[in-house]
């Protein structure tokens, strides 16, 4: 997978996460490349925790498995085999892929179709997908033709099989990284890790306390192209975090800006004032998908959706040359004065 399709890395772990090295417990870390980007794991080395080599091997095995199952950037992945198959095809899938489909179906249902796992042909058409031919505004005829091959209503699960009733192509890039983080966290727990900050391609989750008794902290980065500035600090314990934004993945044509976030109902890039949105949820998979959805919905509809489903979300909206921020009720209840409750 390529990082361009994933949400921008806007929620970043702070350097303060590495404090506490003078205690008997200590923070260790490892990382590496994954999904066209990187991953990192920081954890507290304590009694009962498996050796770092074992933790890293287990983490990278999960990442490799997910890549082989759902990457749209390798022709031998299970989902690309499914995508090449004709309409009317069913293919056996591992439980992980079916879990991703079910998560997508839930968001599709809750949003009235605004979230859709079958947008890959449209992403390619606009130049943002794995087979995009360069960013450019397509013609009305091209858009109409491609939209005939898009629609989550054509995707269904039958037992352990994934089936397509039209020639659709599935793209899990809006939820796969969050799913990977949840899988890694679960495996690390089995290997004795109880305090951690795990990040993959910008999606992250943290739990437990550092050796000095403080929470893991992240900074929500201001949506700027020229520099990285944290505009709010969050302390986490048992929550996943995902941020979507349009300020680093877009193109301009004839003076108009075209975002990589597509409106599933029109097939076009979104056109609103929402610059970025961060979602915090116990499930990183859920946070990943909801942040994409809220970015597609925009500031007004996105805020209404988040409040309706009690989602902890932090919106950054353009106001001329500046930005306005707003946290949902659930977000402000979860974080008071920047500290976890």
Burial degree of 301 (CB within 10 A; 0-12, 13-18, 19+): middle
DSSP 8: P
pLDDT tens figures, 260-318? 788 888 888 888 889 899 999 999 999 999 999 999 999 999 999 999 999 999 999 98
Q: What is the mean pLDDT of residues 36-65?
A: 97
Collapse the DSSP code of 308 into the 3-class scheme (helix H, G, I; strand E, B; otherwise coil) and give the result. Answer: helix
Which is more confidently placed, 243 or 226?
A: 243
The contacts of residue 69 (CB under 8 Å, 6+ apart) are 77, 78, 79, 93, 94, 96, 97
Q: Rounded to an integer, what is the distance from CA 287 to the centroid of its chain?
A: 7
DSSP helix, strand, coil percent of the chain (3-state; round to 5):
35, 30, 35
Nearest alpha-carbon partner for 44 in 180, 280, 216: 216
pLDDT of amino acid 248: 58
The contacts of residue 226 (CB under 8 Å, 6+ apart) are none
Q: Could you give the percent of the chain with pLDDT greater than 90? A: 67
Mean of per-residue pLDDT scores for the chain: 88
HSE (side-chain half, CA atoms, 13 Å) at 209:
7
The Cβ of residue 266 has, within 10 Å, a number of other Cβ atoms equal to 12
Q: What is the mean pLDDT of residues 61-82?
A: 96
**Buried (b) or exposed (e) across 206-241, using 16+ Cβ within 10 A?**
bbbebbeeebbbbbbbbbeeeeeebbbebbbeebbb
pLDDT tens figures, 160-213? 999 999 999 999 999 999 999 999 999 999 999 999 999 999 999 999 999 999
Nearest alpha-carbon partner for 154 in 71, 73, 85: 85
The contacts of residue 110 (CB under 8 Å, 6+ apart) are 305, 309
pLDDT tens figures, 12-48? 555 444 444 444 799 999 999 998 899 999 999 999 9
| Element spanning 176, H or E | helix 176-190
Instruction: Judge contact between 91 and 162, C-beta under 8 A.
Output: yes
| Element spanning 241, H or E | strand 239-245
Collapse the DSSP code of 72 into the 3-class scheme (helix H, G, I; strand E, B; otherwise coil) and give the result. Answer: coil
CATH architecture, domain 79-164: Orthogonal Bundle (1.10)
């Amino acid at each position: 997978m390529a990082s361009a399709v994933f949400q921008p890395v806007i929620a970043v772990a702070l350097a303060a996460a590495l404090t506490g090295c003078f205690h008997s417990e200590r923070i260790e870390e490892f990382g590496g490349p994954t999904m066209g980007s990187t991953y990192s794991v920081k954890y507290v080395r304590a009694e009962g925790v498996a050796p770092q080599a074992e933790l890293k091997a287990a983490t990278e095995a999960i990442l490799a498995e997910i890549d082989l199952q759902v990457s749209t950037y390798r022709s031998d992945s299970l989902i690309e085999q499914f995508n090449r198959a004709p309409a009317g095809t069913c293919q056996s899938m591992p439980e992980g892929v079916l879990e991703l489909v079910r998560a997508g179906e839930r968001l599709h249902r809750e949003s009235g179709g605004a979230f859709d796992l079958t947008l890959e042909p449209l992403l390619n058409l606009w130049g943002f997908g794995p087979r995009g031919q360069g960013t450019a505004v397509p013609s009305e005829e091209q858009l109409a033709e491609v939209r005939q091959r898009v629609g989550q209503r054509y995707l269904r699960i039958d037992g352990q099989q994934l089936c397509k009733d039209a020639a659709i192509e599935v793209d899990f890039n809006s939820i796969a990284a969050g799913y990977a983080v949840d899988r890694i966290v679960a495996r690390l727990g089995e290997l004795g890790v109880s305090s951690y900050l795990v990040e993959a391609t910008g999606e992250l989750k943290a739990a437990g306390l550092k050796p000095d008794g403080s929470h893991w902290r992240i900074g929500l980065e201001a949506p700027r192209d020229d520099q990285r500035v944290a505009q709010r600090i969050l302390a986490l314990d048992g929550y996943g975090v995902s941020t979507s934004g349009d300020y680093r993945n877009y193109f301009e044509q004839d003076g108009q800006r075209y975002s990589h976030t597509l409106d599933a109902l029109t097939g076009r890039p979104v056109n609103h004032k929402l610059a970025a949105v961060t979602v915090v949820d116990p499930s990183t998979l859920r946070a990943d998908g909801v942040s994409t959805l809220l970015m597609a919905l925009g500031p007004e509809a996105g805020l209404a959706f988040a409040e309706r489903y009690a989602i902890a979300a932090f919106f950054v909206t353009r106001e001329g040359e500046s930005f306005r921020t707003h946290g949902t009720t659930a977000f402000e209840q979860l974080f008071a004065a920047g500290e976890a409750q």
